[in-house]
């Protein structure tokens, strides 16, 4: 089955498989959203089914919760578990300092709440997500629907005073209608192209009335695991200052490649 995967899917898979090595029995784990995180949830489900490991998952979206239940990972809420040992999630971009842009899947608010309520955050990604400076990927900003066009105008005015290369913003759509987050909010995508001072951008954005949260994850990620299509992974630990290279064995298993929705 793994032989049928594209190189990019193999990269996502090996990064996810390496990440679940950090999972220990009894842990409370934040489960990210997106295609790479979905591989992690499948790998975690295999550990639950085959190894009998006991974990409690807190999902960052309804689709992640649905997938976790399908593969056998018990799901709870953050209010019930209070605090998490570990969160594993993907990213749309990461820089050398492990600052991130997230929210391409529309779950940035829950993702940021869960990540900051964890002792450790691990990001799993492929090498295409690595950048020297954040901003090539549009920055998602979650806004409430009331007065969203005014909020959009305020954001665009604010961007003109910041050190970014682009100031274009667009409302995210789904089937020609505004995309709705799990909280019922809208998402504005900011096409900034280059964000040399993400701390400043994040601070200013969150001061604008109508903005709920932005997709800049700063000083949150501890480890990034970068997968490659040949089965190799690079593990960067920002706290220990280490970079390790490993090879992951890819073994076909029908239990892992369940036909479940992503």
Q: Which domain holds residue 159?
A: 139-213
Q: Is 156 domain-assigned?
A: yes
Residues 152 and 236 in one domain: no
Query: What does the pLDDT read at residue 146?
Result: 98
Tell whether 90 and 184 lie within a shared domain: no
Closest to 85 measured CA to CA, from 191, 214, 222: 222
- For the stretch 222-233, pLDDT in tens is 999 999 999 999
In a domain, 76, yes or no: yes
Same domain, 75 and 186: no
Counting the structural domains of the chain, the total is 2
Q: Which member of 4, 50, 93, 111 is catalytic?
A: 111
**73 and 43 within one domain:** yes
Residue 215: what pLDDT?
Answer: 98
pLDDT of the residue at 3:
55
User: Can you give the pTM of this predicted structure?
Assistant: 0.93
* pLDDT value, residue 4: 80
Average pLDDT over residues 184-204: 98
**215-227: b (≥16 Cβ within 10 Å) or e:** bbbbebbbbbbbb
Q: Is residue 252 part of a domain?
A: no
Q: Which two structure tokens, joined as six digits, stand for 80?
A: 């019930």
Express each pLDDT in 69-121 by its tens digit: 999 999 999 999 999 999 999 999 999 999 999 999 999 999 999 999 999 99
**Confidence at residue 262, expressed as pLDDT on a 0 to 100 scale:** 33
Same domain? For 120 and 16 the reply is yes
Q: pLDDT tens digits, residue range 40-54?
A: 999 999 999 999 999
On the question of pLDDT at 63 being above 70, the answer is yes
118 with 161, same domain: the answer is no
CATH number of the domain at 146, please.
3.30.70.260
Say whether both 193 and 225 belong to one domain.
no
Side-chain-side CA neighbours of residue 1 (13 Å): 10
In a domain, 256, yes or no: no
258, part of any domain: no
Task: Please tell me whether residue 181 adopts helix, strand or coil conformation.
Answer: coil
Q: Do 209 and 235 fall into the same domain?
A: no
Q: Quote the pLDDT of residue 261.
A: 35
Burial degree of 242 (CB within 10 A; 0-12, 13-18, 19+) = exposed
Q: pLDDT value at position 5? A: 86
pLDDT of 251 > 90? The answer is: no
**Domain-embedded: residue 59:** yes
Give 5 or 236, the one with higher predicted confidence. Answer: 236
Would you call 111 a catalytic residue per the annotation? yes
Span 116-163, pLDDT tens digits: 999 999 999 999 999 999 999 999 999 999 999 999 999 999 999 999
**Within this chain, do residues 18 and 102 fall inside the same structural domain, yes or no?**
yes
Query: What is the domain-level CATH number for residue 228?
Result: 3.40.50.1360
For residue 255, tell me if it sits in a domain: no
Minimal CA–CA distance to 99: which of 135, 64, 72? 135
Return the DSSP state at 209.
T
Alpha-carbon distance 146 to 28, whole Å?
Answer: 36
- Classify residue 260 by its DSSP letter: -
């Amino acid at each position: 089955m793994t032989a049928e995967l594209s190189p990019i899917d193999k990269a996502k898979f090996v990064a996810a498989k390496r990440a679940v090595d950090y999972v220990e029995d009894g842990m409370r784990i934040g489960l990210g959203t997106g295609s790479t995180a979905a591989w992690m949830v499948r790998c975690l489900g295999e550990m639950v089914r085959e190894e009998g490991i006991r974990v409690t998952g807190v999902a960052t979206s309804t689709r992640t919760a649905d997938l976790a239940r399908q593969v056998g990972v018990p799901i709870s809420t953050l209010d019930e578990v209070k605090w998490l040992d570990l969160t594993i999630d993907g990213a749309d971009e990461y820089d050398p300092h492990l600052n991130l842009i997230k929210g391409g899947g529309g779950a940035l608010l829950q993702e940021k709440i869960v990540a900051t309520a964890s002792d450790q955050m691990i990001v799993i990604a492929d090498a295409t997500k690595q950048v020297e400076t954040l901003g090539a990927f549009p920055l998602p900003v979650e806004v409430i629907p009331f007065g969203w066009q005014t909020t959009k105008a305020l954001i665009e005015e604010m961007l003109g005073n910041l050190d970014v290369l682009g100031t274009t913003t667009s409302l995210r759509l789904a089937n020609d209608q505004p995309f709705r987050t799990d909280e019922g909010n809208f998402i504005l995508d900011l096409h900034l192209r280059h964000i040399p001072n993400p701390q400043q951008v994040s601070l200013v954005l969150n001061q604008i009335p109508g903005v709920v949260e932005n997709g800049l994850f700063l000083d949150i990620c501890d480890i990034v695991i970068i997968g490659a299509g040949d089965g190799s992974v690079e593990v960067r630990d920002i706290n220990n200052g280490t970079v390790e290279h490993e090879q992951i064995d890819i073994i076909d298993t029908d239990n892992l490649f369940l036909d479940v929705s992503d």
